[in-house]
Amino acid sequence: MREVRIRDTLSGEPRAIDPTEEAGIYACGPTVYSRIHIGNARPYVVFSLLARFLRSEGYRTRLVVNVTDVNDKIYAAAARAGEPSAEFAAKMTAAYFEDTERLGLGRPDAEPLATETIAGIVALIEDLIASGHAYESGGDVYFRVRSFGAYGKLSNRRPEDMDQGEEAGSASLKENRLDFALWKAHKEGEDTHWDSPWGPGRPAWHIECSVMAEQELGASFAIHGGGSDLVFPHHENEIAQSEAVGRPFARIWMHNGMIESDAAKMSKSEGNIFQLSEALDRFGREAVVAYLISGHYRQPLAFGAEQMEQAVAQVERLRNFFREHPVREAGGVSAETPSCCSDETPPASRIESFREALADDFNTPRALAEVFGLVAEANREEVHGAPEAVLAMLEILGLSSLAKEKVHEGAAELKSQVVVQAHGEVLRPEDVLLAEREEARAARDFERADALRDRLAEMGWTVRDSADGPKLVPR
Ligand SMILES: [Zn+2]
């Protein structure tokens, strides 16, 4: 078991994960008011793969990712959809499970829902009121920020730069503008509420994570993760809620950077592929995972068709490598190097450097560079054990399927031919064939439509007809 260090947002220092304790990881999951996008998929992929790596090193690991299924945004979106909010949230939660399942990385060990954690939430709020850290006001309950001296230690903000981002109407109920809501009284137009000592209402946002983390991982746990946009106020408030009543809470804070995109492009051509399900349909799960780990987790990551095409080319390179260098023995997620290369061979030292990169603040781009370094070496000249070593590394990154997939002749060759239509839109060959198939179907030329579908199949694509029209799904 090697030492794994993560840069802690709170101290700004690399901190080692304690190998003698369970490596409990709590990562904030989505608020389910719409289908999730690539930005939500980044923490899902980063923390799932971190858990996978830690397990492969022999750490006892437990990953918890929550689902926020009651929230102002959900009430608003359900009203727009003309559906009861509980039904709408359940539908979006199911869609979130379905979309993330398609990433092929397995599921977290626990995925608690806010609406199923109400008793624990009410109990923690009662403790906070009893200890003077919270107060009831007009059926709401607020955290008294000035009662907690360490407030602000995670985000290092001056009080004047702190904005809880709460509705203007709550200002008159607060003792101090920095105070934040723990419980919200039931309001006209909200179709869900729960009984509490302060009357009917619902939890505010931050409190659920303090409760779920402790219920699933104990009062002190290894890593609390989430996007860097959650540092303030969400994580600052989680610390206050938990530490004010004597829970030590997270030992390391780990934040992933945001996905950045060109707003003008997003509103036109790239808007739909930003949705995770669309990106998976179009590029396949391996390219989506490869894209999401192509940059260091702490850095922002640019998103666009160009970056996705680069990821497609990367996974294509790996598929081609396995076509030319078939794996001779089973790899597997193991702390050991494969038996092929357990000595001082090039594949063994690559695996060592790969694992060191991940142990050093989960540096996935450096780890990927080791994978591609070995691929390049083995493409130049025969390297004994290279395919097995590449597979062993890809297992840890959730990409081992690249060694197992059927490769379709001709797909790579066609991939490079890009068709530019008259109005300047760039189409891939498969998109052109799909459009031709639609034309043939509209003209009731089913023979031609079927021939085009077969041609797409040869190129590695399945045509899936959906309510929004046909889609290409990698076979
Ligand atoms: Zn959270």
Kindly report the CATH number assigned to the domain that includes residue 43: 3.40.50.620
- Of 370, 403, 436, the residue at which a domain comes to its end is 403
User: 205 C-alpha to center of ligand 1: Å?
Assistant: 8
- 408, part of any domain: no
User: 230 C-alpha to center of ligand 1: Å?
Assistant: 8
User: 172 C-alpha to center of ligand 1: Å?
Assistant: 26
User: 254 C-alpha to center of ligand 1: Å?
Assistant: 13
Q: Are residues 84 and 161 in the same domain?
A: yes
Cβ-based neighbour number of residue 467 at 10 Å: 4
- 409, part of any domain: no
Q: Are residues 166 and 32 in the same domain?
A: yes
Q: Are residues 363 and 392 in the same domain?
A: yes
- Of 403, 433, 453, the residue at which a domain comes to its end is 403
User: 33 C-alpha to center of ligand 1: Å?
Assistant: 16
Q: Are residues 384 and 318 in the same domain?
A: yes
CA distances (Å), 393 to each of 202, 254, 258, 358, 473, in order?
45, 23, 26, 11, 26
Q: Are residues 322 and 230 in the same domain?
A: no
Q: Are residues 234 and 210 in the same domain?
A: yes
Which 3-state string (H, E, C) describes the chain?
CCCCEEECCCCCCEEECCCCCCEEEEECCCECCCCCEHHHHHHHHHHHHHHHHHHHCCCCEEEEECEECCCHHHHHHHHHHCCCHHHHHHHHHHHHHHHHHCCCCCCCCECCEHHHCHHHHHHHHHHHHHCCCEEEECCEEEECHHHCCCCCCCCCCCHHHCCCCCCHHHHHHCCCCCCEEEEEECCCCCCCCECCCCCCEEECCCHHHHHHHHHHHCCEEEEEEEEHHHHHHHHHHHHHHHHCCCCCEEEEEEEECCEEECHHHHHCCCCHHHEHHHHHHHHCHHHHHHHHCCCCCCCCEEECHHHHHHHHHHHHHHHHHHHHCCCCCCCCCCCCCCHHHCCCCHHHHHHHHHHHHHHECCCHHHHHHHHHHHHHHHHHCCCCCHHHHHHHHHHHCCCHHHHCCCCCCCHHHHHCCCEECCCCCEECHHHHHHHHHHHHHHCCCHHHHHHHHHHHHHCCEEEEEECCEEEEEEC
User: 64 C-alpha to center of ligand 1: Å?
Assistant: 11
User: 234 C-alpha to center of ligand 1: Å?
Assistant: 6
- The pLDDT value recorded for residue 468 is 74
User: 112 C-alpha to center of ligand 1: Å?
Assistant: 11
As a whole number of angstroms, the distance between CA 402 and CA 35 comes to 27
- The pLDDT value recorded for residue 342 is 56
- 11, part of any domain: yes
Which tokens sit at 457?
A: 């199949």
Q: Are residues 320 and 428 in the same domain?
A: no
- The pLDDT value recorded for residue 263 is 77
User: 235 C-alpha to center of ligand 1: Å?
Assistant: 7
User: 248 C-alpha to center of ligand 1: Å?
Assistant: 16
- The pLDDT value recorded for residue 458 is 79
Domain range enclosing 462:
417-474
- 293, part of any domain: yes
Q: Are residues 72 and 221 in the same domain?
A: yes
User: 154 C-alpha to center of ligand 1: Å?
Assistant: 14
Radius of gyration of the chain measured on its C-alpha atoms: 25
User: 211 C-alpha to center of ligand 1: Å?
Assistant: 10
- 277, part of any domain: yes
State the total domains in the chain. Answer: 3
User: 24 C-alpha to center of ligand 1: Å?
Assistant: 15
Q: Are residues 307 and 243 in the same domain?
A: no
- Of 403, 434, 450, the residue at which a domain comes to its end is 403
Sole residue written with tokens 């998103």: 303
The sign of the dihedral angle between the CA atoms of 125, 227, 279, 108 is negative
Give bridge partners of residue 184 from the DSSP assignment: 202
User: 110 C-alpha to center of ligand 1: Å?
Assistant: 14
- 242, part of any domain: yes
- 411, part of any domain: no
User: 28 C-alpha to center of ligand 1: Å?
Assistant: 4
Q: Specify whether the CB–CB gap between 56 and 396 falls below 8 A.
A: yes
- The pLDDT value recorded for residue 358 is 98
- The pLDDT value recorded for residue 423 is 43
User: 137 C-alpha to center of ligand 1: Å?
Assistant: 24
Which chain residues have CB less than 5 Å from ligand 1, an ion? Answer: 28, 209
- The pLDDT value recorded for residue 405 is 60
User: 236 C-alpha to center of ligand 1: Å?
Assistant: 10
User: 344 C-alpha to center of ligand 1: Å?
Assistant: 45
Tens-digit pLDDT profile for the chain (475 aa)? 999 999 999 999 999 999 999 999 999 999 999 999 999 999 999 999 999 999 999 999 999 999 999 999 999 999 999 999 999 999 999 999 999 999 999 999 999 999 999 999 999 999 999 999 999 999 999 999 999 999 999 999 888 889 999 988 899 999 999 999 999 999 999 999 999 999 999 999 999 999 999 999 999 999 999 999 999 999 999 999 999 999 999 999 999 999 998 877 777 777 788 999 999 999 999 999 999 999 999 999 999 989 999 999 999 999 999 999 999 855 444 445 555 555 678 899 999 999 999 999 999 999 999 999 999 999 999 999 999 999 999 999 999 999 986 544 444 444 434 444 434 445 677 887 888 888 888 888 888 888 888 888 877 788 887 777 788 887 7
User: What predicted TM-score, i.e. pTM, was given to this entire model?
Assistant: 0.83
- 98, part of any domain: yes
CATH number at residue 336: 1.10.730.10
User: 32 C-alpha to center of ligand 1: Å?
Assistant: 13
CA distances (Å), 199 to each of 75, 137, 141, 157, in order?
20, 11, 11, 34
Give bridge partners of residue 136 from the DSSP assignment: 141
Q: Are residues 278 and 369 in the same domain?
A: yes
Cβ-based neighbour number of residue 327 at 10 Å: 19
- The pLDDT value recorded for residue 343 is 64
User: 444 C-alpha to center of ligand 1: Å?
Assistant: 53
Q: Are residues 399 and 423 in the same domain?
A: no
Q: Are residues 294 and 217 in the same domain?
A: no
User: 259 C-alpha to center of ligand 1: Å?
Assistant: 19
- Peptide bond just before 365 cis, omega within 30 deg: no
